[in-house]
Amino acid sequence: MKRSLWETLAIILIAVVLFIGLRLTIQTCIVDGPSMENTFQTGERILVDNLAYKFGTPQRGDIIIFHPPISSTAPFIKRIIGLSGERVIIKNGTIIVIKTDGNKTTLQEPYIKESPDYNYNSGVIPPNEYFVLGDNRNDSEDSHYGWFVSRDEIIGKAWLCIWPPHFWGLAHNYRQPAAIAVTIAPTGMLTCMGMLLLALLPLPGSPLPL
């Protein structure tokens, strides 16, 4: 049987709504710069979950895309290290987080390219702000330059690398072993069908510098 005109229009409308919905919840960004090596390399295309923090809270170890509080023509991509009310101390190549209850935690960081060759004390991180660092600690413009990231300026959470093909996989949003044993976790917001569609769609990307 031939489809009626209304059936065809309904299919087109559903397809358009799905497409717009996916574009509003996900965007593609292109890594541009060495600051997240070896986690991400220049030229990698990353799907960003724009709804991750509409329904959840940024966590230590998350890789986020955000508008930096300094002059920049494009968003930054970094990893959250310190949360609001905490203090981050970088000394002798290690990172110590002093939590709001006074307990100290030395971070385990298997994702970094090399240990930082600088010392730094963040002071207390203000409310609704975060201390972020690049995984390439010695070649990254980040919070050790004296600034924090406001939650309002976070665009989303890195979710999936879709290009080049040999790098395809979930972003390494890391959890410290004491908190949870899983080191790679999807956001759970997106369906497999959506993932396949996005991998095939020629989505434009915005560069993520530094």
Q: What is the pLDDT of residue 207?
A: 53
| Least confident span in 12-26, 93-107, 141-155, 181-195 | 181-195
In the block, which residue shows the tokens 């390439």? 136
| 78 catalytic per annotation | yes
The DSSP output letter for 41 is -
Please report, rounded to a whole number, the percentage of residues in the chain having pLDDT higher than 70: 74
Mean pLDDT to the nearest integer, 3-28: 67
As assigned by CATH, the class of the 32-209 domain is mainly beta
Q: Which has the higher per-residue pLDDT, 3 or 137?
A: 137
Of the residues 35, 122, 140, 143, which is catalytic? Answer: 35
Dihedral, 58, 61, 66, 70 alpha carbons, nearest 10: 120
43 vs 84: CA distance, rounded Å: 32
Pick the catalytic residue: 2, 54, 71, 78?
78
- Report the candidate in 208, 206, 167 with the shortest Cα–Cα distance to residue 26: 206
The Cβ-side half-sphere exposure at 189, using a 13 Å CA radius, reads: 21
The predicted structure's pLDDT at residue 189:
38
Contact between 118 and 90 under an 8 Å Cβ cutoff? The reply is yes
Residue ranges covered by each domain of the chain: 32-209
Quick check: is 91 catalytic?
no
Question: What is the Cα–Cα distance from 134 to 128, expressed in whole angstroms?
Answer: 20
